[in-house]
A and B are shown apart, each in its own frame.
Chain A
Amino acid sequence: MYSAEISRTTPTAYVFLVDQSASMTEGMHSGVTKAQFVADVLNRTLRDLIIRCTREDGVRDYFDVAVIGYGGDGVHNALTGALAQEFFNPISVVADNTLRVEERARKIDDGAGGLVEQSVKFPVWLDPQGDGGTSMQAAIGECARIVAAWSAAHRDSFPVTVLHISDGVTTDGDPEHNASILRSLSTNDGETLLYNVHVTGDDVEPTRFPRMESQLPDAHSKSMFRMSSTFPDHIRAYAHDAHGETLAVDARAMMMNADAERLVMFIDIGSRPAAMR
């Protein structure tokens, strides 16, 4: 299980499930809002996925990608323009349909012991958004619907990976039952993997890959713990090889109150389903 190679004939899929409710407009300790933080992380993640698929001759469709938002507009496709027609889009189509490409500055080594500022292109697909209630139960239900259809059409593929980012305060009922259904959806290679990122403005200790509910401070984070998958062996191996993270067999695919660097690491681990061929 969880050993299918990723190729253009057997792509895998990622679903980004993004909380865009009013509570996401609250500030974090870093000074930005949760919504801004989530948008930056998501844009960077999409960019990284696309770069991994880019060759001299173009972008190869190793991945299908969907971004589902939930908030004031209910549950909806969070991407716009040509990407709004279907939930799932091939990665090459995502690459060609940014909202805009910003110029951002980064500091690099000047080769003489100093740093120089360099302009880099930063593609944007998602802007920060936050209003309305947190319809997490409905969002996970909708996610399960599209994952079921994708899995049925890609029986030989590595199963779908869902990355859910939220502050965890659901307003439409208990989402755990739908999450259980979502995780049970499978291809021939295994069941859907559900990763949860709990962002918070509270002054609580960051937690990553918890093994027990007792490691978490409140009912919302404990609920996200119960909704999270455990890691397949090869992903635990990748986490160790690439990031020096030793994940216990019973560690949950969950992170709470992580800074951007740790969150990007978490998503990198989550987006390495198997060898890309």
Chain B
Amino acid sequence: MGFTSLATWILTIFFIVWAIAFAVLFVIAAAADIRENGFWGLKKNEWHAKYIDRKESERLDSPVDGHDSSSDPINIITGGSRDAWVAKWQPDSADLASSPSFGLTLASVWSAPKEFAHPQSNEDALAFMSSESRAAIFDGATESFAARRWARLLAKTWSVDPASFLEAALAEYDNHSPGTRTGTRTGTDTGMGIDTELSWMHIAAAQRGSFATIAAVRAVQGGLVGTVVGDSCIFLVNGTHIIDSFPYVTSEEFTSAPDALATSRETWENTCIAARVGTWNIPLSDNTCSTVVLATDAVAAWLLTPEPAIRMSRMEQVLTITTPAEWEELVKYERSTRAMHVDDSTIMILSLNTVNDNSGLSS
């Protein structure tokens, strides 16, 4: 074999190896893309990994207004209307021309407190604005100073003006916190507007602040937009089948230290509890999805069990609940088997409809 022939063989072998490597990499990349975007064409996980600043609360935009039924064990805000808002995301214009508009209607809401002996300990809150087809669920973190009040405030201000709800909630939180004196920086306060007449533990706990997660969804022409901070979750459901969920897709992803909306700027800046805002753009066609579900973490983790059959069975159970007593019974049972964590357990079930025109009427 001459030198030329040997070189030809080497080049041929090199080319074959290169081609095989290229093919393998192509298959891996394609599989990753399918896993990321799914066969349903759902584009997700567009995380903005940054700290939330109070001035950047417009990142959490969604609109509406309504009323606060503050005497309820759980905060539910409904009704109202408001002029159009500008969505920050729109489907591609080519898709938009042929895509339907969608609307959300409230099918049911169920909530059970972490301790049935203390119903007022329920620190979850909800907001639903039917005229603008948007809804949000809030989970006040138990290990914070005024979680129930903070979650309710967020729900209330989100319903009034989602473009500035966080700033509004912070202002009202400061104004109505026992012992706080917003704006005063006298020689006797702590430097954070908190009265030194309070006990040392109240001062320290108030300075540490309160925390809450949010999962919000709104219908737009061509699909849905989801917004999440923390481990409250959004589910897309067709029948009883969970098509997809956000921000987590399995119970194993829930962590001990979720992101949260905090009342303390110092906390955001100095501790690990910094919030990332996740947005989920969901282009939809007719019949892709029949139901949207929002759930706080205990219920979300329970629904996202790794076993597909159990997952479907649990969603079917949830969708067939008709009374608060049935929900409490289900939650008690699942807690007793340790399938569901003992925590406030709240779920909001929304029907997804196509809308005929701009009047807001659903078909």
Q: Which of A115-133 contact B (CB under 8 A)?
A: 116, 118, 120-121, 123
In the complex, which residues of chain B have a beta carbon less than 8 angstroms from the beta carbon of A272? 256
Give the nearest-CB partner of B146 in chain A.
A56
Among A116, A123, A237, which residue has its beta carbon within 8 angstroms of that of B256?
Answer: A237
Among B114, B146, B269, which residue has its beta carbon within 8 angstroms of that of A55?
Answer: B146
Task: Quote the shortest CB–CB distance from A124 to chain B (angstroms).
Answer: 11
Q: Which of B265-279 contact A (CB under 8 A)?
A: 269, 272
With A54-B202, A56-B146 already in contact, the answer to whether A7 and B114 are too (CB < 8 A) is yes
In the complex, which residues of chain A have a beta carbon less than 8 angstroms from the beta carbon of B200? 101, 121, 123
Q: Which of B13-21, B203-211, B240-248 is near enough to bind chain A?
A: B203-211
B272→A51 contact, CB < 8 A: no
Number of B interface residues in the complex (CB < 8 A): 30
B256→A51 contact, CB < 8 A: no
Asked if A204 is at the interface (CB within 8 A of a chain B CB), the reply is: no
Among B205, B256, B341, B343, which residue has its beta carbon within 8 angstroms of that of A54?
Answer: B205
B322-348 Cβ-contact flags toward A at 8 Å (1 or 0): 000000000000000010011100000
- Considering the chains assembled together, what is the distance between the CA atoms of A66 and B142 in angstroms? 24
A121→B115 contact, CB < 8 A: no
Task: Quote the shortest CB–CB distance from A222 to chain B (angstroms).
Answer: 31
B256→A121 contact, CB < 8 A: no
Among A3, A95, A116, which residue has its beta carbon within 8 angstroms of that of B201?
Answer: A95
Give the nearest-CB partner of B178 in chain A.
A56
A237→B255 contact, CB < 8 A: yes
Asked if B72 is at the interface (CB within 8 A of a chain A CB), the reply is: no
Among A52, A116, A238, A276, which residue has its beta carbon within 8 angstroms of that of B257?
Answer: A238
Give the nearest-CB partner of A95 in chain B.
B201
Task: Quote the shortest CB–CB distance from B164 to chain A (angstroms).
Answer: 22
Asked if B218 is at the interface (CB within 8 A of a chain A CB), the reply is: no
- Considering the chains assembled together, what is the distance between the CA atoms of A272 and B200 in angstroms? 22
In the complex, which residues of chain A have a beta carbon less than 8 angstroms from the beta carbon of B203? 121
Give the nearest-CB partner of B120 in chain A.
A57
Asked if B117 is at the interface (CB within 8 A of a chain A CB), the reply is: yes
A241→B257 contact, CB < 8 A: yes
Q: Which of A6-31 contact B (CB under 8 A)?
A: 7-9
In the complex, which residues of chain A have a beta carbon less than 8 angstroms from the beta carbon of B272? 241-243
- Considering the chains assembled together, what is the distance between the CA atoms of A77 and B343 in angstroms? 35
A51→B204 contact, CB < 8 A: yes
With A56-B145, A108-B191, A272-B256 already in contact, the answer to whether A3 and B338 are too (CB < 8 A) is yes
B205→A55 contact, CB < 8 A: yes
Asked if B149 is at the interface (CB within 8 A of a chain A CB), the reply is: yes
A241→B201 contact, CB < 8 A: no
B205→A277 contact, CB < 8 A: no
Among A59, A116, A276, which residue has its beta carbon within 8 angstroms of that of B142?
Answer: A276
- Considering the chains assembled together, what is the distance between the CA atoms of A116 and B191 in angstroms? 10
In the complex, which residues of chain A have a beta carbon less than 8 angstroms from the beta carbon of B145? 54-56
B205→A118 contact, CB < 8 A: no
Task: Quote the shortest CB–CB distance from A245 to chain B (angstroms).
Answer: 12
B256→A8 contact, CB < 8 A: no
7 example contacts (A-B, Cβ-Cβ < 8 A) are as follows: A7-B114, A51-B208, A101-B200, A238-B257, A242-B257, A275-B341, A277-B115
Residues of A within 8 A of B (CB): 3, 5, 7-9, 47, 50-52, 54-56, 59, 95, 101, 108-109, 116, 118, 120-121, 123, 234, 237-238, 241-243, 272, 275-277
Q: Which 5 A-B residue pairings sit nearest by Cβ, starting from the closest?
A: A54-B205, A121-B200, A5-B342, A241-B257, A238-B256
Beyond the given pairs A116-B191, A121-B200, 17 more chain A to chain B contacts, judged by CB atoms under 8 angstroms and listed by A's residue number, are A7-B342, A47-B201, A47-B204, A54-B145, A54-B202, A54-B205, A55-B145, A55-B146, A55-B205, A56-B145, A56-B178, A108-B191, A121-B203, A123-B200, A272-B256, A275-B256, A276-B142
